[in-house]
Amino acid sequence: MRTQKGSLAQPMSLQERIHFLDIVRGFAMLGIIIANYFLIVESVKGFEMGSSNIVQTFVSQFVDGKFVTLFSFLFGVGFMIFMNRAVTRVKNPNTLFARRLTILLGFGILHITLVWVGDILAFYALTGFLLLGFYKCKPQTILRWIIALISLQLLIPIVSAIYQSFMPQSSDMSGFVDFVLNSHNSNLTYLQSITARWVDMKVMFSTAFSTVYSMFLMYLLGVYFVKMEFFKDMIAKRQLWMRIWIVCTIAFVVTESVSLFTNYSGEPAGIAMQLSSVLMQSGGLAGSMFYMSTLAMLLLFIPGSQKVLMLFTKVGRMSLTCYLLHSIIGTWLLLGYGLNLATRIQPVGTLMMAIAVYAFLTLFSTFWLKKFKYGPMEFVWRKLTYGKSTERAKTSVPSIGESVR
């Protein structure tokens, strides 16, 4: 006798969490906080390009673009986990996921309006609707899409270079647009910043194609990893993860080497410029997958690393709450209607601030999860998505990469 599907799915219990993904999510949050705080400070100071400060160079090279890309990958993973569970419990899993995305979009709009223009939640939600057409696709089909999207991404700089070679050269900089965030103006009051944020968003949305493109590519990569069951019984797949890590490390070294060479040797010309542009296009993808696979290597091959890395799970389990909190804290500390630290803080101070905020979020998450099963915003998201929240008794922690059903 078949079990009848309920009208509403139940939220995932602690038994069903894959703890490796929480580690990656928590680690990615640290990188996002660092990148976002540097973005705020640099925008207030007018984006002083060509800085020789070692801390600023490090963040630009190894943080920017890597961790938001990693979060996009995790979004694709989360989509498949959500759908695999919902399809056994509801008649219309697509409708349930669409409602989940709509609620996330609402969070993003509120975040933009009340806190910060650098919101990524709205982009995640809008791009996430594209995934609904890929849930039932076979892994081979998903892989073909990934290869096609990467190939197109790599070809764009070459096509652009060829196009420009046939166009008359201009000596002015009219083709470049200054990226100015008016909402970061130190003279604005909080109420004035609300209007300024939406003025900024018009510009950001109009130039968001590359962000959405990269985001969707990483979504599909996350979907592919789940369909191939790479996260299931990871200990038994140690050699597979070793091969993944080797490939990602080679890609990371190549893309970062080209980026470093380009930055320190001046702008290359001709074929060299085209080659460097092509390789640098993959920097975010290569970097994010290198970081993720390196965490897997530490967990699977380094005894004793699990205790340290499990500290990331607290923030990982409350990633939505921590993401919103880091924006509230950061904008209040850095912008003009708060303490206005951005006008006088140095790069090393920005880095220390980001680490301190992450430490606070880790402590906050740890204490919160001792009393509650979900973070406050995670609970609201679940409540609005499922219509109800069924609390279950706490259980033993599953092993790395395992999902207890």
**What is the residue-wise DSSP string for 18-87?**
-HHHHHHHHHHHHHHHHHHHHHHHHHHHT--TT---HHHHHHHHHTTTTHHHHHHHHHHHHHHHHHHHHT
Q: What is the pLDDT of residue 275?
A: 58
When computed from its CA atoms, the radius of gyration of the chain, rounded to whole angstroms, is 22
pLDDT tens track for 87-136: 888 889 999 999 999 999 999 999 999 999 999 999 999 999 999 999 99
19 burial type by CB count under 10 A (0-12 exposed, 13-18 middle, 19+ buried): buried
Is 125 among the domain residues?
yes
Is 259 among the domain residues?
no
Is 8 among the domain residues?
no
C-alpha pair distances (Å), 147 with each of 57, 77, 143, 153, 306: 31, 18, 6, 10, 33
In contact, 278 and 157? CB cutoff 8 Å = yes
Distance in angstroms (rounded) separating the CA atoms of residues 287 and 66: 5
pLDDT tens track for 385-396: 988 644 443 434
Domain count for the chain: 1
Is 71 among the domain residues?
yes
Is 148 among the domain residues?
yes
Distance in angstroms (rounded) separating the CA atoms of residues 58 and 53: 9
Q: What is the pLDDT of residue 7?
A: 42
Name the pLDDT band for 326 (thresholds 50, 70, 90): very high
Distance in angstroms (rounded) separating the CA atoms of residues 39 and 325: 17
Is it the case that residue 399 has pLDDT exceeding 80? no
Which residue reads 């594209």 in tokens? 130
Full domain range(s) for residue 62 = 19-161+180-239+307-386
Distance in angstroms (rounded) separating the CA atoms of residues 175 and 308: 48
In contact, 182 and 200? CB cutoff 8 Å = yes
**Of the candidates 375, 300, 357, the residue with the CA atom closest to the CA atom of residue 31:** 357
Is 217 among the domain residues?
yes
Q: What is the pLDDT of residue 202?
A: 84
Supply the DSSP string of 280-340, one letter for each residue: HHTHHHHHHHHHHHHHHHHHHHSTTHHHHHTTHHHHHHTHHHHHHHHHHHHHHHHSTTTT-
Is 233 among the domain residues?
yes
Distance in angstroms (rounded) separating the CA atoms of residues 396 and 398: 6
Q: What is the pLDDT of residue 145?
A: 97
What is the pTM for the complete model shown? 0.86
Q: What is the pLDDT of residue 165?
A: 61
Distance in angstroms (rounded) separating the CA atoms of residues 151 and 126: 24
Name the pLDDT band for 267 (thresholds 50, 70, 90): low
The contacts found for 158-163 with CB under 8 angstroms, 24 or more apart, are 158/274, 158/277, 158/278, 161/273, 161/274, 161/277
Is 332 among the domain residues?
yes
Distance in angstroms (rounded) separating the CA atoms of residues 42 and 138: 44
